Amino acid sequence: DFPLRIWLVDNSDSMNTMDGLCFVHGKSRAKQMLSCSRWKELKETVRYHAELAMDLGAPTLFRFITDPALANPKIPKDKKQMMGICISEVEKKNHEREWVMTGLKEDDDFQWEDFAHSDFEALTEVLDQVKPRYTTPLAENVRIIKKQIERLHLSLIDNRQRVCVIIATDGIPEDISDFQDAIIELHELPVWVVIRLCTSHDAVLHFWTSFDLDLEFDLDVIDDFKSEAEEVLSCNPWLTYVEPVHRAREWGYSHRIFDLLDELSFEEDLMAEYCSTIFGVSVHDLKPEGDESWWLNFYYDIVSLLEREKKYYDPLSSSYKKLINTHTLGDVYGGKLERRRRRRKVTAKPEAKTEPLSALQEEDERFADDSGADLKFLDMNASALSASNKGCCVLS
């Protein structure tokens, strides 16, 4: 896991555009997505990840592109352009200020929870008062973030860690060449960069897609939830792109299988790897190598695993669906064996296992709500997180 995440939050004037999408809970906690401003969509996203950081004790910084107090004098002067969860700004003896990361410490030390909750309340208070104004100086802010990460460089190298930088924006940089130089400079450090787009404007989407392809290093470009679901459907119509997967990618979860979801139609091996990742089981158990009759056992194992999972909200149909459409899965990968199974109308495995391939872990209470974030790959490794955050790291 990352010892630190840094969000660059676009609060420029264009974020007032009304082409965003946000979740609303209807009767019986049913979800639906309604139109809203880009800023409201991003505010909901930032609030989600701030709360997640609070619950997990994961040090996270949120930097606004422009100082929110410039557009709204009602924001208290002690609220800065950069605010943190489980990371606090303190004054040193020489009157310089530095950021000190704490997060999870020893198992019997829960004082951090009070600090984290206080950090979360302070951030949400400012979020509710932000009035998007002015331009989008991305390059300038990226270089500021780079200077902060530089102070952790040796520690990151020694511990083989990276900082996750999430740039949430709706626009094209004011100076494209300068921004590209800033991103290249940032990648001189151990970082993983996620671009979270807050618009479906074709020109912006084209720019960032091209920008990703032009670079010699990897970064993950993510659209809004519904747009990503549309792209995934066009490549892999047998799966449902769900919010937990989307939130995990925003969180910085880096796995090639999720990077490829909306880029290519999966062959059998990639499809099996996706299923093993999403259910938390061994890919070799799901699809043994060299087994030409793998499909039938695979199909029944997937059916068994799906029976243990709840349904998730699908933004394209505005309904709740299973993680995998087994009928479409059979159309794409089943071939003759699947056609034979359908003719015989076999709905259960002849010698069905009483348990799926791998016992599914209990749902974490944090992810037990309608967000559906109880997928197995999202079972955060608390011990690794605790180890990465023990002691204090300092950002001057």
Give the structural domain span for 294: 227-346
- Final residue before a domain boundary, out of 200, 223, 246: 223
Q: Are residues 165 and 244 in the same domain?
A: no
Domain-terminating residue out of 196, 223, 250: 223
Q: Check pLDDT > 50 for residue 372.
A: no
Q: How many domains does the chain fold into?
A: 2
Rounded CA-CA distance 105/238 in Å is 42
What whole-number percentage of the chain has pLDDT above 90? 59
- What's the pTM value of the predicted model, to 2 decimals? 0.85
Task: Give the CA distances from residue 139 to residues 8, 22, 111, 182, 185, in Å, rounded to whole numbers and listed in that order.
Answer: 11, 28, 37, 6, 11
In a domain, 360, yes or no: no
Residue 348's pLDDT is 59
CB 165 within 8 A of CB 186: yes
Lowest mean pLDDT among 83-92, 149-158, 377-386: 377-386
Dist CA 329 CA 317 (whole Å)? 18
Contacts of 270 (CB under 8 A, 6+ apart): 257, 260
Q: Is the dihedral of CA 299, 301, 307, 312 positive or negative?
A: negative
Q: Does one domain contain both 159 and 182? A: yes
365 within some domain: no
The token pair at 393 is 């790291």
- Domain stops at, among 201, 223, 245: 223
pLDDT per residue as tens digits for the range 179-228: 999 999 999 999 999 999 999 888 898 899 888 777 777 788 999 999 99
Is it the case that residue 277 has pLDDT exceeding 60? yes
Q: Kindly state whether residues 337 and 284 are assigned to the same domain.
A: yes
Of 128-132, 140-144, 191-195, 208-212, the one with minimum mean pLDDT is: 208-212
195 and 306 co-located in one domain = no
